[in-house]
Structure 1
Amino acid sequence: MLERIFNAINRRSRAKLANIPGPTPRFPLGTAGAFFGRQPWELCADYGEKFGGVTLIWLFNTPALVLNDPVLIREVLDTRAGEFYKDEPVGALKPVITPGSLFITNFGRGWEQARRDNPFSTAPLDGWLTRQTEPLRTVIAEKMKSWIIRSTTGRIDLYWEMQRLMFDVFAQAFWGRTFPPDRFDWFQTLARTGTRRMNPPKPFLPPLSPFFYSARRKWYGSFEQIVAETRRNPNPASPDMLNASLAHGTPLSDSALTEALATNFFGGVFSCAGTVNTALYLLAQHPEEAAKVASAVRNDLPADFDRFALDGCRPLEFAIREAMRYYPAVPIYFRKSSPDREVRLGSHTLPPNTQIFISNWYLHKNSPHWHEPDRYDPSRWDNGFAEANPYGSDHFFPFGRGPRACIGAAFGKFIHRLFLTVIFRATDPVVDTTRPYKQSFFFGTMMPKGLTARFLPRS
Structure 2
Amino acid sequence: MPNLLSRGLFNLFFGARRKALQGLPGPQPGVLGNVGDFLGVPPWDVCARYGREYGGVTLVWMGPSPALVLNDPSVIEEVMETRRLEFEKGNVNEQVRPTVTDDTSFIAKQGEDWAGKRRTDPMAQPWSGDWLAAQVGPLRASITRSLEALLTQGPLDLTPALRRLTFDALAVTLVGEHLPDPAYDDFMLLAKGADARIKANLPLRFVRFPKGYEAAKTRYYGQFLERVRAARRTPTPGGQDLLSWTLREMPEMDDQVLAHLLGSSFYGGVFSCSTTLVGAFHQLQKSPDAEARLAAEAAALAEAPPSWEVLRGARWTEAVAYEALRILPAVRIFTRTPSADTKLAGVTLPAGTTLLISNQHLHRDPAHWTAPDTFDPSRWLDGGTARDPLGSGHFFPFGRGPRACVAAPLAMVFLQTALATLAARARVHVDSTEPFEEDFFFGVVLPKGVTGKFVARPVVTARQSVG
Q: What is aligned with 1:452?
A: 451
Question: Contact 1:167 / 1:269 at 8 angstroms: preserved in 2?
Answer: yes
Secondary structure at 1:10 match in 2: helix
Q: What is aligned with 1:71?
A: 74
User: After superposition, where does 1:80-159 map in structure 2 within 5 Å?
Assistant: 80-122=83-125, 124-150=127-153, 154-159=154-159
Measured after TM superposition, the shift of residue 251 of structure 1 is 4.7
Name which of structure 1's ranges 272-281 and 139-148 shifts more when overlaid on structure 2: 139-148
Q: What is aligned with 2:29?
A: 25
Secondary structure at 2:204 match in 1: coil
In structure 1, C-alpha distance between the alignment counterparts of 2:106 and 2:160, rounded to whole Å: 24
The reply on whether 1:183 has 2:183 as its aligned counterpart is: yes
Match of 2:12 among 8, 30, 37: 8
Question: Contact 2:197 / 2:204 at 8 angstroms: preserved in 1?
Answer: no
Question: Contact 2:282 / 2:433 at 8 angstroms: preserved in 1?
Answer: no
Deviations, residues 156-199 of structure 1 (Å, cap 9, x unaligned): 32111111111111111111111111000000001111111111
Q: What is aligned with 2:369?
A: 370
Measured after TM superposition, the shift of residue 60 of structure 1 is 1.1
Question: Contact 2:58 / 2:68 at 8 angstroms: preserved in 1?
Answer: yes
Name which of structure 1's ranges 201-210 and 222-231 shifts more when overlaid on structure 2: 201-210
Secondary structure at 1:244 match in 2: helix
Question: Contact 1:123 / 1:241 at 8 angstroms: preserved in 2?
Answer: no
Consecutive unaligned residues of structure 1, counting only runs of 5 or more, are none
Measured after TM superposition, the shift of residue 357 of structure 1 is 0.1
Structure 1 counterpart of 2:286, which letter? Answer: Q
Measured after TM superposition, the shift of residue 350 of structure 1 is 1.4
Measured after TM superposition, the shift of residue 445 of structure 1 is 0.8
Structure 2 counterpart of 1:299, which letter? Answer: A
Structure 2 counterpart of 1:193, which letter? Answer: G
Deviations, residues 307-365 of structure 1 (Å, cap 9, x unaligned): 22112211111111111110101111000012x3x212232221222110000000000
Structure 2 counterpart of 1:128, which letter? Answer: W
- Change in Cα spacing, 1:254 to 1:207, as seen in structure 2 (3 Å) is farther
User: After superposition, where does 1:171-320 map in structure 2 within 5 Å?
Assistant: 171-205=171-205, 207-299=208-300, 302-320=303-321
Measured after TM superposition, the shift of residue 435 of structure 1 is 5.3
Question: Contact 2:59 / 2:69 at 8 angstroms: preserved in 1?
Answer: yes
In structure 1, C-alpha distance between the alignment counterparts of 2:354 and 2:251, rounded to whole Å: 36
Measured after TM superposition, the shift of residue 123 of structure 1 is 6.5
Q: What is aligned with 1:418?
A: 417
In structure 2, C-alpha distance between the alignment counterparts of 1:306 and 1:176, rounded to whole Å: 17
Consecutive unaligned residues of structure 2, counting only runs of 5 or more, are 459-467
Structure 2 counterpart of 1:20, which letter? Answer: L
Normalised by the length of structure 1, the TM-score is 0.95
Question: Contact 2:157 / 2:451 at 8 angstroms: preserved in 1?
Answer: yes
Question: Contact 1:231 / 1:246 at 8 angstroms: preserved in 2?
Answer: yes
Question: Contact 1:435 / 1:451 at 8 angstroms: preserved in 2?
Answer: no
Question: Contact 1:92 / 1:198 at 8 angstroms: preserved in 2?
Answer: yes
In structure 2, C-alpha distance between the alignment counterparts of 1:353 and 1:433, rounded to whole Å: 43
Structure 2 counterpart of 1:156, which letter? Answer: L
Secondary structure at 1:95 match in 2: helix
Structure 2 counterpart of 1:416, which letter? Answer: L
Measured after TM superposition, the shift of residue 208 of structure 1 is 4.3
Measured after TM superposition, the shift of residue 33 of structure 1 is 2.0
- Same amino acid, percent of matched pairs: 37
Measured after TM superposition, the shift of residue 12 of structure 1 is 2.2
> How many equivalent pairs are there?
453
Question: Contact 1:20 / 1:55 at 8 angstroms: preserved in 2?
Answer: yes
Question: Contact 1:95 / 1:207 at 8 angstroms: preserved in 2?
Answer: no
Structure 1 counterpart of 2:7, which letter? Answer: E
Structure 1 counterpart of 2:19, which letter? Answer: A
Q: What is aligned with 1:402?
A: 401
Name which of structure 1's ranges 306-315 and 185-194 shifts more when overlaid on structure 2: 306-315
Question: Contact 2:426 / 2:454 at 8 angstroms: preserved in 1?
Answer: yes
- Change in Cα spacing, 1:187 to 1:12, as seen in structure 2 (3 Å) is same
Normalised by the length of structure 2, the TM-score is 0.94
CA RMSD, Structure 1 to Structure 2 (Å): 1.5
In structure 1, C-alpha distance between the alignment counterparts of 2:359 and 2:435, rounded to whole Å: 22
Secondary structure at 2:61 match in 1: strand
Question: Contact 2:301 / 2:310 at 8 angstroms: preserved in 1?
Answer: no
Which structure 1 residue ranges, 4+ long, deviate > 2 Å from structure 2?
A: 206-210, 299-303, 433-436
Name which of structure 1's ranges 353-362 and 3-12 shifts more when overlaid on structure 2: 3-12
Measured after TM superposition, the shift of residue 137 of structure 1 is 1.1
